[in-house]
Each structure stands twice: as structure tokens, then as C-alpha cells.
């Protein structure tokens, strides 16, 4: 039974933000729309600031609304941590772990983590949000997530890195690709090869552009996308190469359907993967269970891949 520690007004604001309208929040919460609207208007009147833009097809948070939403999510996360901690004191393993992670982990590490938690720790629940490293670092700082697993995570004053590993860049191709027999490879070898690439706005592409922009200027990628899943499927389906790390394609490398060719380029700084918590908040048992699993399984799988 929930302790219901989050004020009703904040719960209503969150529901409207998540469902896009008072009517959607009403259906989700089972509360009359008029009651939700009245509570939101009371905050707006007290603060003299509108929380939402009332649009023809829904409601969009204003800057003031976003500030209230962040506070509400932090309050909700703290309430769940407290509830989990109290149950832990009673000898119960229980709680919700809020994890911020990268999209590249969504087809390998994360589903396996969910399955393991469901089997081994069924009273622990996962709330996983896919974020950019900057978003993840900010969410950890304000307390809306408990744990972050991200590439090149910006340093935070109160951040504790439980585990991290350098991830050198490599060229990923099908085993039948002509480059697969020439490991290691250089960027110059890619000048005449069909490539696919991350979108120019993504951190990995920005880094490559800053150091080796000539590669994309002289040999325009056949595909540019912000979806790692699409990049991998394009490599699997065609005769193209991508530049990324082993962790981005871990399940495919383990299955032998893709090959990772180390890059012989001293000027390319490796990416790194970081598992981090905030030192200002207690590390409750549920979060420790998830952190221990990730910090054990990830290095084991990477080490096995590199030893094969």
C-alpha cells in the first residue's frame, strides 16, 4: 500500500504533463476533470504563472510548468525511495529503481536486466528512461533518477562512479565484408567504402566531425540517422560500415552476425561507459541490486568478447 506522500496538486500536474490534457489525466487517475483543473488553477493563481499552454489539441507545459514538473518528479522519486527504505528496514526487498540509460542498450543489456530482475528479484521494479548523457547527468543531479548508465557522462559534483570502462572506436561490418579480413583498419581505408553514420547532432558524430570531418565530406554516408537500431539493421542488411564501440553492438558481436574491427588511429579518444549514482542520496538495497548486476555483467561480457 502506497504511503501517498506526494501532494495531490503535484500528482495532478504530473498526470496532465504525461497525458497531455486534463481529460487524459482524469481518465488515468480516475479523478473528475473539474477537480484536476481546479487544483492546477489554484497553483497558477498562487504563483501568478500559468503552468500550461491551453492548446486546441491538448496542454503544453510552460517554463513555470516544467519547473513544477521537475520538483514533482523529484518529490515522487524521494517518496518511492523512502517507501522502499522503510520496507527494507522491515526485512522486505522492495522498491522502484529509476535508471537513465542510452538507446544503444535497449536491445541487449536492458531487456536482459529486466528479465533477470523479474526472475531473481520480483519485488523490485524498474523505471527506465532513455536519455542523452547530458539529460541523464541532469536527472541524476536533481534526483529524478537513482542510477545512470551512459556514454561520456558529464562529471557532476556529487556523482559517484560505481563502474566505468573505456570503449575504443571501431569499424563494424558484416563478417563477409571486404574489410573484415583487414583488421585493424584505418580511417583512410573507409574513404572508398559505403558507410552509415549517426546524425550530426549526436555527441559521437560531433566528436568524429571535430577530428576527422574529412571522412564524411569526401565520402558522404549512404545513411544518416539518430537511431542506432536502424544503423545496425542497415549493416546487417547491406554492405555498409559504421564507426562505433563494441558495447553499441554487443548482442550482434556475441551472436557472430557482426564483426568489430579495431581502428588504428591514435588521435581518436575512446568513449567511456559510466555507471553512476548521486552521493547525496542513500543507496537503498533495490538500487544496489541493480547496480551490482550491471557492474558485474557488463565487464564480464566485454572481457569475454575481447578474449575470443
- C-alpha 135/C-alpha 148 separation (Å) is 10
| Whether residue 74 is found in the same domain as residue 148 | no
DSSP-assigned beta bridge partners for residue 223? 196
Mean pLDDT (the chain, rounded): 87
Residue of 92 and 66 predicted with greater confidence: 66
pLDDT band of 88, cuts 50, 70, 90: low
| Whether residue 264 is found in the same domain as residue 196 | yes
Does the pLDDT value for residue 229 go beyond 80?
A: yes
Give residue-wise pLDDT tens across range 144-166.
899 999 988 888 888 999 999 99
C-beta atoms surrounding 205 within 10 Å: 19
Does the pLDDT value for residue 223 go beyond 60?
A: yes
Instruction: Answer positive or negative: Cα dihedral of 288, 289, 292, 293.
Output: negative
DSSP-assigned beta bridge partners for residue 188? none
Q: How many CA atoms lie within 13 A of 159 on its CB side?
A: 23
Residue of 178 and 76 predicted with greater confidence: 178
C-beta atoms surrounding 263 within 10 Å: 19
Domain CATH number, residue 191: 3.40.190.290
| Whether residue 264 is found in the same domain as residue 274 | no
| Whether residue 178 is found in the same domain as residue 219 | yes
| Whether residue 73 is found in the same domain as residue 6 | yes
pLDDT band of 267, cuts 50, 70, 90: confident
| Whether residue 280 is found in the same domain as residue 141 | yes
In the listed set 91, 117, 144, which residue is the last one of a domain according to the structure? 91
Segments forming the whole domain that contains residue 202: 169-269
Asked if residues 244 and 173 have their Cβ atoms less than 8 Å apart, the reply is no
Average pLDDT over residues 9-38: 89
- C-alpha 23/C-alpha 28 separation (Å) is 9
Domain CATH number, residue 12: 1.10.10.10
pLDDT for position 230: 92
Lowest average pLDDT, out of 18-32, 81-95, 144-158, goes to 81-95
pLDDT for position 92: 55
| Whether residue 4 is found in the same domain as residue 48 | yes
| Whether residue 21 is found in the same domain as residue 40 | yes
* % residues pLDDT > 90 (the chain): 37
Domain CATH number, residue 281: 3.40.190.10
pLDDT band of 1, cuts 50, 70, 90: very low
Average pLDDT over residues 252-273: 90
| Whether residue 45 is found in the same domain as residue 175 | no
Closest CA to 174 of 105, 256, 263, 262: 256
For residue 280 the three cell numbers come to 547525496
pLDDT for position 93: 58
For the chain, the domain total comes to: 3
| Whether residue 84 is found in the same domain as residue 29 | yes
Q: How many CA atoms lie within 13 A of 28 on its CB side?
A: 16
In the listed set 52, 70, 91, which residue is the last one of a domain according to the structure? 91
| Whether residue 274 is found in the same domain as residue 264 | no
| Whether residue 134 is found in the same domain as residue 175 | no
Average pLDDT over residues 49-53: 90
Closest CA to 267 of 177, 195, 207, 205: 207
Average pLDDT over residues 192-219: 86
pLDDT for position 238: 85
Average pLDDT over residues 34-50: 89
Give residue-wise pLDDT tens across range 129-149.
999 888 999 999 988 899 999
Lowest average pLDDT, out of 26-40, 89-103, 136-150, 279-293, goes to 89-103
Does the pLDDT value for residue 240 go beyond 80?
A: yes
For residue 239 the three cell numbers come to 554492405
The set of long-range contacts for 73-76, using a CB threshold of 8 Å and a minimum separation of 24, is 73/14, 73/144, 74/142, 74/143, 74/144, 75/5, 75/6, 75/7, 75/10, 76/6, 76/10, 76/11, 76/14
- C-alpha 12/C-alpha 304 separation (Å) is 48
Report cis status (omega within 30 of 0) of the bond before 184.
Answer: yes
Q: What is the pTM of this model?
A: 0.70
Write down the residue that cell numbers 507545459 correspond to. Answer: 61
Amino acid at each position: 500500500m502506497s504511503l501517498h506522500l506526494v501532494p495531490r496538486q503535484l500528482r495532478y500536474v504530473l498526470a496532465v504533463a504525461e497525458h497531455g490534457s486534463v481529460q487524459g489525466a482524469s481518465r488515468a487517475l480516475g479523478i473528475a476533470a473539474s477537480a484536476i483543473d481546479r487544483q492546477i488553477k489554484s497553483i497558477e493563481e498562487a504563483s501568478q504563472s500559468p503552468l500550461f499552454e491551453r492548446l486546441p489539441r491538448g496542454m503544453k507545459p510552460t517554463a513555470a510548468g516544467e519547473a513544477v514538473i521537475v520538483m514533482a518528479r523529484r518529490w515522487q522519486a524521494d517518496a518511492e525511495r523512502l517507501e522502499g527504505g522503510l520496507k527494507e528496514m522491515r526485512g522486505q526487498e522492495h522498491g522502484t529503481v529509476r535508471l537513465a540509460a542510452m538507446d544503444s542498450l535497449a536491445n541487449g543489456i536492458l531487456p536482459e536486466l529486466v528479465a533477470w530482475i523479474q526472475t531473481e528479484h520480483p519485488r523490485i521494479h524498474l523505471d527506465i528512461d532513455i536519455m542523452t548523457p547530458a539529460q541523464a547527468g541532469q536527472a541524476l543531479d536533481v534526483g529524478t533518477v537513482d542510477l545512470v548508465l551512459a556514454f561520456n557522462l558529464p562529471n557532476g559534483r556529487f556523482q559517484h562512479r560505481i563502474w566505468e570502462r573505456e570503449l575504443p572506436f571501431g569499424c563494424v561490418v558484416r563478417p563477409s565484408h571486404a574489410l573484415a579480413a583487414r583488421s585493424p583498419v584505418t580511417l583512410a581505408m573507409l574513404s572508398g567504402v559505403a558507410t552509415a553514420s549517426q546524425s550530426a547532432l549526436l555527441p559521437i558524430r560531433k566528436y568524429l566531425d571535430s577530428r576527422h570531418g574529412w571522412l564524411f565530406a569526401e565520402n558522404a554516408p549512404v545513411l544518416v540517422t539518430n537511431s542506432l537500431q536502424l544503423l545496425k539493421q542497415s549493416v546487417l542488411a547491406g554492405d555498409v560500415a559504421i564507426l562505433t564501440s563494441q558495447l553499441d553492438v554487443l548482442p550482434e558481436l556475441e551472436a557472430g552476425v557482426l564483426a568489430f574491427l579495431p581502428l588504428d588511429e591514435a588521435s581518436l579518444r575512446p568513449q567511456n561507459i559510466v555507471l553512476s549514482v548521486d552521493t547525496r542520496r542513500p543507496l537503498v538495497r533495490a538500487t544496489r541490486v541493480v547496480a551490482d548486476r550491471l557492474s558485474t555483467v557488463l565487464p564480464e561480457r566485454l572481457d569475454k568478447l575481447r578474449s575470443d
